[in-house]
Structure 1
């Protein structure tokens, strides 16, 4: 890895526009602030660092910041001289080598539904902006009842080719092992598993055939930009953090929440199946993540459950488990949405160490991913069954609601007042215990207690 000083940045600025390197900066508050301010296209995040694409737009944006951000530049490394290079060898092949094209996914899902008609069913999930069908497959023994519903998603982001491979490998694993493997048979007999291996079909095809590093879908908007980041378009906390309002940004959140066909398709699937648990595959960073993604101010009230099952999957994968926002707050993702709105135990798994791991690595990732999903199907069947709505749990829900009200994209006074009215019903000791359980950040804790005192005075004055 090469250290990048300011002089090196100047050289890069004069280099060919054909090569867009991937840069790495420490995962600090100042780094996150610059990346968020400029809507830079970050590619990977860990507790230690964030990587982003240093393309022409990023170059100009960073230059425009001026000397005040020299410290940011000095701490930057080059991890990949040309982000597109990782795709080059595969794109020379007609069928992308070990990676699936969209048509190959459709063909395989169709064939599976014919070969295993008693346990597999091809489904049409939705239609894209460019008119393509988003296909999925439903796996489960059609003769058994009371099955537990799961959702497995791949390729929210176009360039993350490996994100389609693990769902496809898991489908193959369960179907081909059904008659010879007791664990696979038990899972299929007692579950309804809906796989959507390539959710962002238009973007996935565009990345494979035109612009390899394309991230978004291909929805043209009336502002001149193309594409919306599907994993910033879900409605829960839409636009609060880590998402851009610029149509030209790779993290563009869309004009309105749930505006995109792909996001609407996932919501319709939930309405039909009422999923208990879900996994969304992405790349890269070798992480298992769970809510909250929109804020690092608190853990979610069910963090202990998320951590237990997430840690189980991470041990199989050899990955690190953690709350998503501990890396970089980003609102509008599938995990927060499914958990907050529908109570789904929802995870993101960031696969590998680059968007398209080498062909020799793919079978290893697929095998571990399929094994992790088997663990998931056995252990996330009714994840919240032991949750009792005690007074302590009610405090946690009230605190979550208060943070939700505080961190809205647009301050809603009525929602905030409602949150404080609910929270004020609990004693200070109960609130403090809840804040400790949620590992609430000190600044947020002080803010809430200060507001509660002001609210109490205001209410008392109105009663006099």
Structure 2
């Protein structure tokens, strides 16, 4: 099932052939093959008019979330989200409910663009579109990011994994424009990140220090706003993985995501406010990946 999906992501020349309809069809197939453990979900329409479809797996009290493809050109993240959906549907995590949104940026995914077109010539980087303590622009320009934010509040998400490519690491908050990157939960985040990287061997660390400062990212928003145990998975070594590379990304990351959810605290963090200072000068020395 997933092998067919992966093959549709690449052409013989390794040029991506992304198609959101195929993702929905594969989710439907996973649900039909596992009717007692899964249910399709719908977060509502994006700016493109297409509905943001995902899958619910299990019915436990602890709610977890996996989100792929904030950036439409990072289709390897979609592959890992779909791999997790297939694996967890066959073997749900006892006591957990896992919600998986394989594609948040539907227009970007279909056109293989990092950005989401939200009308006319306007576009937005979805993973810079969330509120945060160092945000200076208006958040939630995208209907998709607002829908996801509403969803995590409604479902009382406890832990979340957001999937990106291509800088092999498992990262934790804070990742925005500050030099005060430590949280009061650093020791927990470090252990959870190590748990998630057993198979992949990825580096683990603070998002801003190991990658770059990024204001408005989902991972920081989820922890800052709600105390959600939120990890960022930067997977693989390319934005253009082959079918073989996508399968390898699934094999080394899905077990770690599962272990992260199993070992995360049973409740949201209690003391998750940011008490440091913002430093926008840091943003001038960072770049997009």
User: Normalized against structure 1, the TM-score is what?
Assistant: 0.54
Q: Which residue of 2 aligns with 1:333?
A: 217
Post-superposition CA distance 1:330-372 (Å, at most 9, x none): 1100011000100100011011111122222221111111111
Deviation of residue 408 (structure 1)? Answer: 8.1
1:151 to 2:34 alignment: no
2:244 match: secondary structure: coil
Q: Which residue of 2 aligns with 1:73?
A: none
Q: Which residue of 1 aligns with 2:128?
A: 232
Distance in structure 1 (CA, Å) of the matches to 2:135 and 2:40:
34
1:301 to 2:168 alignment: no
Alignment of 1:108-119 (within 5 A): 108-119=26-37
Structure with the greater relative contact order (CA < 8 A, sep ≥ 6): 1 or 2? 2
Distance in structure 1 (CA, Å) of the matches to 2:134 and 2:119:
20
1:194 to 2:99 alignment: yes
**Aligned CA distance change for structure 1 residues 256 and 334 (closer, same or farther; 3 Å):** same
Post-superposition CA distance 1:220-277 (Å, at most 9, x none): 36xxx4310000010113545xxxxxxxxxxxxxx62112111111112112211000
Distance in structure 1 (CA, Å) of the matches to 2:245 and 2:186:
32
Alignment of 1:251-330 (within 5 A): 256-294=138-176, 295-326=178-209, 327-330=211-214
Q: Which residue of 2 aligns with 1:459?
A: none
Gaps of at least 5 residues in structure 2 are 1-9, 281-289
Q: Aligned-residue CA RMSD in angstroms?
A: 2.3
**Aligned CA distance change for structure 1 residues 307 and 87 (closer, same or farther; 3 Å):** farther
2:54 match: secondary structure: strand
2:250 match: secondary structure: helix
Judge conservation of contact 1:316–1:368 (CA < 8 Å) in 2.
yes
Deviation of residue 113 (structure 1)? Answer: 2.3
Deviation of residue 383 (structure 1)? Answer: 6.0
Q: Which residue of 2 aligns with 1:219?
A: 118
Distance in structure 1 (CA, Å) of the matches to 2:149 and 2:237:
30
Deviation of residue 200 (structure 1)? Answer: 0.4
1:162 to 2:76 alignment: yes
Larger relative helix fraction: 1
**What is the total number of aligned residue pairs between the two structures?**
269
Distance in structure 2 (CA, Å) of the matches to 1:284 and 1:331:
19
Q: Which residue of 2 aligns with 1:135?
A: 53
| 1:407 maps to which of 250, 267, 278 | 278
| 1:171 maps to which of 75, 80, 85 | 85
Q: Which residue of 2 aligns with 1:342?
A: 226
Deviation of residue 302 (structure 1)? Answer: 0.8
**Aligned CA distance change for structure 1 residues 107 and 169 (closer, same or farther; 3 Å):** same
Larger radius of gyration: 1
Distance in structure 2 (CA, Å) of the matches to 1:128 and 1:230:
12
Gaps of at least 5 residues in structure 1 are 1-85, 177-183, 208-213, 241-254, 390-395, 410-464
Deviation of residue 101 (structure 1)? Answer: 2.8
Q: Which residue of 2 aligns with 1:359?
A: 243
